[in-house]
Structure 1
Amino acid sequence: MDDAENNAKLFQETCMDIDETKVAEIDGNEHYAAEDILTDDPSVNTLLYNVNEVPPAAIVFSTAMQNILLGLGGALTTAYVISDVICAAPDHPIRAKLFCTSLFMTGICTTLQPLVGIRLSVFQGVCSTFLIPLMAMKTDSRWQCDNVFQKGTGSNIHNMTGKGNSSLPEAAEEEMYFKLREMMGCLIYASLVEVIVGLTGLVGILLRFIGPLTISVVVSLIGLTLFKIPMIYVRTHWGLSALCILLTIVFMLYLDRVGIPCPKFCAAMKHKRNRIPIFQMFPILLGILITWLVCGILTATSVLPDDPDQLSYRARTDIRDGIIHASPWFYIPYPGQFGTPLFNSTIFVGFLSAVISSIMESIGDYYATAFVSRAPPPPHHAVNRGILLEGLGSVISGVLGAGHATTSSTSHVSLIGISKIASRSCMVSSGVLCIVMSLVGKFGAVLSTMPDPAIGGAMFVTFGILGAVGIFSLRSVNLTSSRNLAIFGLSLYAGIVVPEWVERYPEAIDLGNPTSDGIVKGILGTPMFLGGFVAAILDNTVRGTLDERGFHSRKHNQGDKFFVVSKSETYDLPFIGTVIRTFPCLQKLPFIQSLKHE
């Protein structure tokens, strides 16, 4: 398991290196580079509130809202993608229901993870790795929506997308729910694998064979192969999409040092900050809101066409008004709300690859969160418990029909390093607020009316940064080695070319059995699974030293003075000591602490 911790730390360090060029404002006019903020020097890396402290109510609320707003875009865009994959009409109420369900599960998992999971301030957001298999489904003719939206006459298209009209032909409506039910069942079965990994403590064994090279290939392919999704939304109006992209870039890269005056409640904070770097915290959110406002103005002034046959019609802000009227004020997701879960072997293979990738990402996030929170590295029982809880949350997501799993959010790890607030109470409050917001059906309906150019622009930036995360993972690998260059290049190229070949020539795979054809297409058509598999095989069979492969480089050896909390008070489950004394056999479970660590 020591190798597992080292590997996870390597992934942690690369995630934090993304923000090295950022500059945070501390103590008024004093500026420290992020690489200085996240150092081993306790005098520099000072927290305002550690994991176990409870800040004032105003700070708890503001921090919780910040966490929610940062993760809101992922929940919304994923709900949009799932709706499009199942061929839902642009103004169908199922879009709002899927978003509310995603937000509800985000809240449930975010509330439980800091309490009974890893017990760090970890935000549980939508798992972006599931977007890859969702898009791979489009290679199957049954999952193509051309026959619904593009092959009909102009009047038919108008009926599908007209204001306030969410009707679909009865056959198309049944097919839409049938597809979603297949996704539900496959998500449940795939997530059970993550549950088993957490229950049995297989994390350490898994990471012995998955080094930085494999992680780099997997994460890079997640971002690099998602380019087709923003193209769908950006093409509706390139000008407005470019506006969203440019605004986000300006906020994120040029105005990151600009702060706004801090509210009065900041005076209650232990470490006063005169200004808040709002552009650094919410660049994507601000870009979306401004683009949304511009689209609203162009809609009100009739600059954008009102003809559904024109592509730029999708940039209007009123084409989905019917969702708001059709959605109830209060909506509670419940099991089987979309029907009984079904099974599809092709979808299962894709979802299983996404689950495996999310496990690797989550472990790296756990160690990164512990580092920025100045907490000791998480023990094995805490990591197993965190993975177990993520798996259980994903199973519940499948039962409710969310269509995707939940996993730890890497972007929220950087947010702790910026805000200096690692309080567990703030993250639990974020989860509770997510649940409350998800139960207000009108809220989800309003957000589901976001114009396509704003969504496409946000995806353009987000997926680009996601691809860069994988490239940065190579910092711990010896890139002067021809061995490593060959493994990375061949694996990355295989993950890009082979899935594209499957999409363009699906008829080339003909084994004489539709089920077998679907399984093979699912494996070869999922870039991250194929590329990661090739990288893992080559990295473990081609001769190379551990240092060359990046397994033992850049270790962080913090002293006791660096940690502001103890391992037991941070990671041990509360009130479990009495139970263990009564039933000592429970200590054998890999996700329960032993008495000697209590």
Structure 2
Amino acid sequence: MRGTQGALIIASTIQIILGFSGLWRNVVRLLSPLSAVPLVSLVGFGLYELGFPGVAKCVEIGLPELILLVAFSQYLPQVLHFGKPIVSRFGVLFTISIVWLYAYILTISGAYKNSPPKTQVHCRVDRSGLISGAPWIRVPYPFQWGAPTFDAGEAFAMMMTSFIVLVESTGTFIAASRYASATMIPPSIISRGIGWQGISILLDSFFGTANGTSVSVENVGLLALTNVGSRRVVQISAGFMIFFAILGKFGALFASIPLPIFAGMYCIFFAYVGACGLSFLQFCNLNSFRTKFIMGFAFFMGISVPQYFNEYTAVAGYGPVHTGARWFNDMINVPFSSKPFVAGLVAYFLDNTIKTYDSTVRKDRGYHWWDKFRSFKKDARSEEFYSLPFNLNKFFPSV
């Protein structure tokens, strides 16, 4: 744990420097709708392992969640004459409550009493004694596991992982803005968001969370499902998360929800994010062979290359790059096991090197649609985006 904390401290500097220095802004400025399609699409579709395979681990719980969520979000709003916004916006809460209660009934009735241990882990709501073992109140504090230790190999591997997260988070930012009915995020704002994400990773390392911070892909899918893009919702949700983190019993109660329920929701959430990436094709010329090649090649390599790396690792126990330096192995094997990273890298490189300066190609790739959001000197969005919560703008007129 102390070694992980030290590696996260070093890795956080990657996103902090690239974000707040504006270097990542220069990279995002060259991103076009065409190169964004594989990146954003595989941010969602690339997580298919967390979808139905997770549902199938306890199909009697996961499948009802999937079916009920589709019914609540897509069908009930069409047939109801009242309460449509409530059903569509709170469908996730309703379905989780129903299926969670159903899973609890199955657990206390002894349905899994003689089931294999693996089935009980995925289906029971009282697995591993989460609620009984959690304290009522526990306030986390910095370096609670001791002073962090630093190792060059672990730091290099974690830095590369941080860079992959940076790329995937950029695609998720774009999807979130799309579903929030906002215009394309200016590169400077994306760069600033990456910088603050680095600050979050630094805080993770201080408090010993054992993992870093990334954009929540499922929350973007939830945004699309509920059509709620208000920042107030995010602020209130953050308050709830802080509250449940301190009161251990309440946090353990929600942690007892069987994972197949989440897998059922992921089938819809990740599908929304992947479809968002495909929606950027409307800005591109799909009759262009250049467009077809870049898009098809990026998608194929984004799926094929990680599949090779993952299969090789599963069989051999180590990645295709296997030298005496573990940090070097991780720096090569980890990024090429990420579907969005590979697809985004291939599309970005090809889109910015094949006939880039041709005026016809510029329109084919959809670059002209995002031109007005690429200025270094101003922000083309409305002032409403910068409104502070609780009417605090009167105290900060420059914001």
Alignment of 1:300 with 2:113, yes or no, is no
Matches of 1:353 and 1:465, distance apart in 2: 22
Offset at 1:379? 7.8
Alignment of 1:518 with 2:325, yes or no, is no
Query: Which residue in the other structure is 2:48 paired with?
Result: 227
Question: 5+ residue gaps in structure 1?
Answer: 1-176, 262-274, 558-562, 578-596
Offset at 1:466? 2.5
Maintained 8 Å contact 2:15/2:162: no
Q: Percent identity of the aligned residues? A: 26
Matches of 2:39 and 2:308, distance apart in 1: 19
Offset at 1:526? 1.8
- The partner residue of 1:357 within 154, 159, 168 is 168
Q: 1:279 to 1:363 in 2, by over 3 A?
A: same
Matches of 2:244 and 2:77, distance apart in 1: 29
Offset at 1:465? 2.5
Query: Which residue in the other structure is 1:497 paired with?
Result: 304
- The partner residue of 1:453 within 240, 260, 275 is 260
Question: 5+ residue gaps in structure 2?
Answer: 374-380
Matches of 2:172 and 2:118, distance apart in 1: 41
Maintained 8 Å contact 2:175/2:273: no
Query: Which residue in the other structure is 1:205 paired with?
Result: 26
Matches within 5 A, 1:451-490: 451-490=258-297
Query: Which residue in the other structure is 1:531 paired with?
Result: 343
Q: 1:570 to 1:515 in 2, by over 3 A?
A: closer
Matches of 2:89 and 2:149, distance apart in 1: 39
Cα deviation digits, residues 177-196 of structure 1 (max 9, x gap): 47xx53x4444434323322
Aligned-partner residue type, residue 295 of structure 1: A
Maintained 8 Å contact 1:478/1:484: yes
- The partner residue of 2:202 within 395, 399, 405 is 395
Aligned-partner residue type, residue 296 of structure 1: Y
Alignment of 1:196 with 2:17, yes or no, is yes
Query: Which residue in the other structure is 2:39 paired with?
Result: 218
Alignment of 1:546 with 2:362, yes or no, is yes
Cα deviation digits, residues 415-436 of structure 1 (max 9, x gap): 89x56x95x6665444334322
Q: 1:407 to 1:516 in 2, by over 3 A?
A: closer
* Structure number having the greater helix percentage: 2
Query: Which residue in the other structure is 1:100 paired with?
Result: none
Cα deviation digits, residues 34-87 of structure 1 (max 9, x gap): xxxxxxxxxxxxxxxxxxxxxxxxxxxxxxxxxxxxxxxxxxxxxxxxxxxxxx
Alignment of 1:324 with 2:140, yes or no, is no
- The partner residue of 2:87 within 279, 292, 301 is 279
* Partner SS for 2:127: coil
What is the RMSD of the two structures over their aligned residues, measured on CA atoms?
3.7
Q: 1:345 to 1:306 in 2, by over 3 A?
A: farther
Aligned-partner residue type, residue 315 of structure 1: C
- The normalised TM-score by structure 1 is 0.55
Cα deviation digits, residues 93-135 of structure 1 (max 9, x gap): xxxxxxxxxxxxxxxxxxxxxxxxxxxxxxxxxxxxxxxxxxx
Aligned-partner residue type, residue 135 of structure 2: P
Offset at 1:297? 1.3
Matches of 1:253 and 1:302, distance apart in 2: 34
Q: 1:328 to 1:202 in 2, by over 3 A?
A: same
Matches of 1:500 and 1:336, distance apart in 2: 38
Aligned-partner residue type, residue 207 of structure 1: V
Query: Which residue in the other structure is 1:47 paired with?
Result: none
- The normalised TM-score by structure 2 is 0.79
Q: 1:190 to 1:576 in 2, by over 3 A?
A: farther
Matches of 2:234 and 2:92, distance apart in 1: 21
Matches of 2:199 and 2:127, distance apart in 1: 37
Alignment of 1:288 with 2:96, yes or no, is yes
* Partner SS for 2:352: helix
Offset at 1:452? 3.1
- The partner residue of 1:345 within 134, 156, 166 is 156
Matches of 1:308 and 1:501, distance apart in 2: 32
Offset at 1:536? 0.8
The structure that has the greater radius of gyration is 1
Maintained 8 Å contact 1:341/1:399: no
Matches of 2:178 and 2:274, distance apart in 1: 21
Q: 1:222 to 1:360 in 2, by over 3 A?
A: closer
Matches of 1:482 and 1:555, distance apart in 2: 23
Number of positions where the alignment pairs a residue of Structure 1 with one of Structure 2: 374
Maintained 8 Å contact 1:259/1:278: no
Offset at 1:437? 2.8
Offset at 1:413? 5.8
